[in-house]
């Protein structure tokens, strides 16, 4: 299974920032490393993408753009492992965005993120929405 690297995460974060957003190297590269490593425990790309999105958003390793980076890393993981990321992570995805805001504020919504992505891939109705 293809997995994103730290260098890719930093590059994506740099790309998603607006011109007026501050950028420096990640505030804590170890938090980013741990977030990426947590997704390595799974061979299922959807579960790995969900864990990755949650953990990167929760880690807050960057000064700005953590949730945007989390979304794009999850989509990258799906796309690089044979799943159309756009069919699982939708444009203007307010449901997933809300979960990542909760993750960034310290609420454990990892299972909800994984469940949301899994249900979408399987064409099932989203629970709790």
Domains assigned to the chain? 6-122 (1.20.120.1870)
The whole-number pLDDT of residue 17 equals 82
Whether 65 contacts 100, CB under 8 Å: no
From first to last of its 129 residues, what are the pLDDT tens digits of the chain? Answer: 999 999 999 999 888 887 776 655 556 889 999 999 999 989 999 999 999 999 999 999 988 889 999 999 999 999 999 999 999 998 889 999 999 999 999 999 999 999 999 999 988 777 654
User: Which pLDDT score, from 0 to 100, does residue 35 have?
Assistant: 95
Q: What is the pTM of this model?
A: 0.89
Distance in angstroms (rounded) separating the CA atoms of residues 64 and 24? 9
């Amino acid at each position: 299974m293809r997995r994103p690297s730290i260098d890719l995460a930093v590059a994506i974060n740099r790309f998603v920032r607006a011109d007026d957003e501050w950028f420096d190297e990640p505030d804590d590269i170890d938090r980013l490393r741990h977030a990426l490593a947590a997704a390595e425990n799974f061979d299922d790309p959807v579960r790995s993408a969900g864990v990755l999105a949650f953990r990167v958003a929760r880690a807050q390793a960057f000064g700005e753009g953590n949730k945007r980076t989390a979304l794009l890393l999850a989509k990258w993981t799906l796309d690089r492992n044979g799943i159309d990321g756009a069919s699982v992570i939708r444009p203007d995805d307010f449901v997933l965005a809300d979960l990542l805001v909760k993750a960034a504020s310290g609420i454990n919504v990892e299972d909800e993120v994984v469940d949301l992505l899994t249900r979408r891939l399987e064409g099932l109705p989203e629970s709790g929405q």
